[in-house]
Structure 1
Amino acid sequence: MSTLERARCSVRAHPWALDAGVAAGVLGCMVAGSFVTPRGTDGASWGARTPAALSLLLMLLAAGALVFRRRAAMPVLAVTGTLAVVECVTGDPRAPVTMAAVVALYTVASTTDRTTTLRVGLLTMTVLTAAAMLGGPLPWYAQENLGVLAWTGIGATAGDAVRSRRAVVQAIRERAERAERTREEEARRRVAEERLRIARDLHDVVAHHIALVNVQAGVAAHVMDKRPDQAKEALAHVREASRSALDELRATVGLLRQSGDPEAPTEPAPGLSRLEDLAGTFRSAGLPVEVARAGPDADLPAAVELAAYRIVQEALTNVQKHAGTGARAEVSVVRVGPDIEVTVVDDGPGGPSAPGTGGGHGLLGMRERVTALGGTLTTGPRYGGGFRVHAILPVKTRTETPTA
Structure 2
Amino acid sequence: MTTLVRGRGWARTHPLAVDALLATVVLICMVIGSFAEPHGQQGPTWGTRTPDLPSLLLMTLGAFALVFRRRAPWSVLGATCAASLAELLTGEPRAPVVMCAVIALFTVAARTDRSTTWRIGVITMAGLTGVAMLSGPMPWYSQENLGIFAWTGMAAAAGDAVRSRRAFVAAIRERAERAERTREEEARRRVAEERLRIARDLHDVVAHHIALVNVQAGVAAHVMDKRPDQAKEALAHVRDASRSALNELRATVGLLRQTGDPEAPTEPAPGLHRLDELVETFRNAGLPVEVAMGQIGLDLPAAVDLAAFRIIQEALTNVQKHAGAAAKAEVSVVRVGPNVEVTILDDGPGDDKDDKNDRKDKSDVGDASDASGENEGGGHGLIGMRERVGALGGHCSAGPRYGGGFRVHAILPVTAKGGTA
- TM-score range, shorter-chain basis? over 0.9
In the TM superposition, what are the counterparts of 1:363-402 in structure 2 within 5 Å?
Answer: 363-399=382-418
**Aligned equivalent of 1:125:** 125
- Mapped to 2, the partners of 1:70 and 1:87 lie a distance apart of 24
**Aligned equivalent of 1:294:** 294
Instruction: Deviation per CA, 1:31-66: give whole Å up to 9, x if none.
Output: 111111113572211111111111111111111111
**Aligned equivalent of 1:92:** 92
In the TM superposition, what are the counterparts of 1:268-287 in structure 2 within 5 Å?
Answer: 268-287=268-287
Contact 2:50-2:93 within 8 A present in 1 as well: no
Instruction: Deviation per CA, 1:151-203: give whole Å up to 9, x if none.
Output: 11111111112112212221221122111111111111111111111111011
In the TM superposition, what are the counterparts of 1:191-206 in structure 2 within 5 Å?
Answer: 191-206=191-206
- Mapped to 2, the partners of 1:287 and 1:75 lie a distance apart of 89
- Mapped to 1, the partners of 2:146 and 2:86 lie a distance apart of 18
For 1:203, give the aligned amino acid: H
Instruction: Deviation per CA, 1:229-276: give whole Å up to 9, x if none.
Output: 111111111111001101111111122224565521222111112111
1:31 and 2:20 matched: no
1:356 and 2:351 matched: no
In the TM superposition, what are the counterparts of 1:4-403 in structure 2 within 5 Å?
Answer: 4-39=4-39, 42-92=42-92, 94-259=94-259, 261=261, 263-351=263-351, 352-354=353-355, 355-357=358-360, 358-399=377-418
- Mapped to 1, the partners of 2:259 and 2:302 lie a distance apart of 19
SS at match of 1:340: strand
- Mapped to 1, the partners of 2:148 and 2:165 lie a distance apart of 26
TM-score w.r.t. length of structure 1 = 0.96
Instruction: Deviation per CA, 1:4-35: give whole Å up to 9, x if none.
Output: 11111111221111111011111111111111
Structure 2 stretches of 5 or more lacking a match? 361-376
Instruction: Deviation per CA, 1:345-387: give whole Å up to 9, x if none.
Output: 1010112222333421101111111111111001000001111
- Mapped to 2, the partners of 1:323 and 1:12 lie a distance apart of 74
Specify whether residues 41 and 211 from structure 1 end up closer, same or farther in structure 2 by C-alpha distance, changes over 3 A only: farther
SS at match of 1:353: helix
- Mapped to 2, the partners of 1:315 and 1:176 lie a distance apart of 47
Tell me the number of residue pairs that the alignment of Structure 1 and Structure 2 aligns: 400
For 1:99, give the aligned amino acid: M
Structure 1 runs (4+) deviating above 4 angstroms are 259-262
Deviates more, 1:309-318 or 1:287-296: 287-296
SS at match of 1:380: strand
Offset of 1:92 from its aligned partner? 2.5
Contact 1:93-1:138 within 8 A present in 2 as well: no
Instruction: Deviation per CA, 1:95-154: give whole Å up to 9, x if none.
Output: 100000001001111111111111111110011001101111322111111111111111
Query: In angstroms, what is the RMSD of aligned CA positions?
Result: 1.4
Contact 1:94-1:144 within 8 A present in 2 as well: no
Instruction: Deviation per CA, 1:208-240: give whole Å up to 9, x if none.
Output: 000000011111111111221111111111111
Contact 1:93-1:144 within 8 A present in 2 as well: no
Structure 1 stretches of 5 or more lacking a match? none
Contact 1:87-1:93 within 8 A present in 2 as well: no
SS at match of 1:374: coil
- Mapped to 2, the partners of 1:282 and 1:356 lie a distance apart of 19
Instruction: Deviation per CA, 1:320-359: give whole Å up to 9, x if none.
Output: 1111121111000011111110000101011222233342
